Amino acid sequence: MKLLVTGFNGFVAGSILAQVPKDWEVHGIGRSTIPADGRNIFYHQVDLLDKINLRNSLKKIMPDAVIHTAAIANIDYCEQHKTEAEAINVSATADLANICKEIDTKLVFCSTDAVFDGHKKNYTEDDTPNAINYYASTKIRAEEIVLSASKKNIAARLALVIGLPIMGKGNSFLAEMIEKLKKGEAVKFPANEIRTPVDVITLGAALNELAAGDFGGIIHLSGNTRINRYEMGKQIARKTGFSEEKIIAIDSSDIPGRAPRSNDVSLSNNKARNVLKTPMLSLEEGLELILSGKF
C-alpha cells in the first residue's frame, strides 16, 4: 500500500501518519520546506495551489490512495477570506480529484459535520447538506466534485475533532484549552452548539482503514456521545484534572464577529460502525485514549 497524505503538518494528518501500518510506503505533502516530523515518511513540499507541481508530484509518487486533509479549516477565516478558501478548499480539491482519476487513485476527502444547517439532529449520510457559512459551502461543493470523480472516492464527514497534536501542530482546541486552564484562565464554550466529538486517534485509524478498504461514498466519522460544547468542556476539565468552574457557558451569538455556526450537527455514526473495524468511541473513552500517552 502506498499512501499520500495532504496537509502533512496539520492536526488530523499527524494522527493518520502516526498510525499507518509499518508495511505501507507513506508520502506526505505540505507547504513548509521542512516537515514537522519526518519519521519514515517521504516528504514533498507542494503548495496545492501550484497545479503543475501537484500533478508532477502525484504522477511521480503514484499512490494507491490519497487522504486529503489539507484545507482552510478555520470557519471564521474562511468567512473573511472567501477567495482563498474557494481556491484551496474547492479548486485545489477539484485538481486533486482530476489527477487521482487520471492515475486511478482512490481519494479520501475530509469533509465536516458543518455541511448541515443544524435544524435536525443525528444526521445520517442520506440527509441533505445545507451550508450556513462559507466554509460549509466550500466543503459541500468539494464533496460533490470528489464523489462524482470516481465511485471509489470517499467524502468522510468529520465531527468536531478532539485531541492533542501527535506530530506537527494545527488546529487543536484541546491543547489551547489546557494551556488556558494551566494559567488559571476561564474557557468559554457555547452551550447551544451540540456535537458528536470524535477523538483524533480513532479518526486517524478510521481514515487509514478507509484509504485501504473497498468502501466508496459518504461516511460520518463521529463519536458515540451527543453533547453540547459546554458540557463537553466540563467533561474534559474533569478528565484532565482541572476545575469545572473555569468552564463558562455562553451562547454562539455572544461571540462578536464569529461566522454563523449550526446549533445541532450531531452525526449518526451507524454506517461507520457497520463498515469499519476501527471502533467508534464515547467521549469518555476517546478522552482516555488521548490522555493515555500511547501516541
Ligand X SMILES: NC(=O)c1ccc[n+]([C@@H]2O[C@H](COP(=O)([O-])OP(=O)(O)OC[C@H]3O[C@@H](n4cnc5c(N)ncnc54)[C@H](OP(=O)(O)O)[C@@H]3O)[C@@H](O)[C@H]2O)c1
Residues that bind ligand X (CB under 6 A): 7, 9-13, 30-32, 47-49, 69-73, 88, 110, 112, 158, 160-161, 170-171
Nearer to ligand X, 92 or 276 (CB): 92
Task: Please state the closest distance from residue 129 (CB atom) to ligand X, in A.
Answer: 13
**Based on CB atoms, which residue is closest to ligand X, 59 or 243?**
59
The residue (of 22 and 44) whose beta carbon lies closer to ligand X is 44
All three cell numbers of 134:
462559507
Burial 233-244, CB ≥16 within 10 A → b, else e: bbbbbeeeebee
Nearest to 1 by CA among 43, 64, 61, 59: 64
CA-nearest of 181, 195, 254 to 223 is 195
Q: How far is the CB of 294 from ligand X (least distance, A)?
A: 20
Choose between 48 and 140: whose C-beta lies nearer to ligand X. 48
Instruction: Please state the closest distance from residue 44 (CB atom) to ligand X, in A.
Output: 10
What residue type is assigned to position 188 of the chain? Answer: K
Please report how close the Cβ of residue 279 comes to ligand X at its closest, in angstroms.
20
Among residues 37 and 184, whose Cβ is nearest to ligand X?
A: 37
The answer to whether 124 and 265 are in contact (CB under 8 A) is no
Whichever of 13 and 276 has its CB closer to ligand X, that residue is: 13
Q: How far is the CB of 87 from ligand X (least distance, A)?
A: 8
User: CB 156 → ligand X: shortest distance, Å?
Assistant: 9
Question: In terms of DSSP bridges, do strands 106-112 and 65-68 run parallel, antiparallel, or are they unpaired?
Answer: parallel
Is the CB of 114 or the CB of 181 nearer to ligand X? 114
Q: Judge whether 166 and 228 are in contact, CB under 8 Å.
A: no
Q: Are 25 and 2 spatial neighbours (Cβ–Cβ below 8 Å)? A: yes
In whole angstroms, how close is the CB of 168 to ligand X at the nearest point? Answer: 7
| CB 132, CB 260: distance < 8 Å | yes
Sign for the pseudo-dihedral over CA of 227, 77, 34, 28? positive
Q: DSSP letters of 197-225?
A: -EEHHHHHHHHHHHHHSS--EEEEE--S-
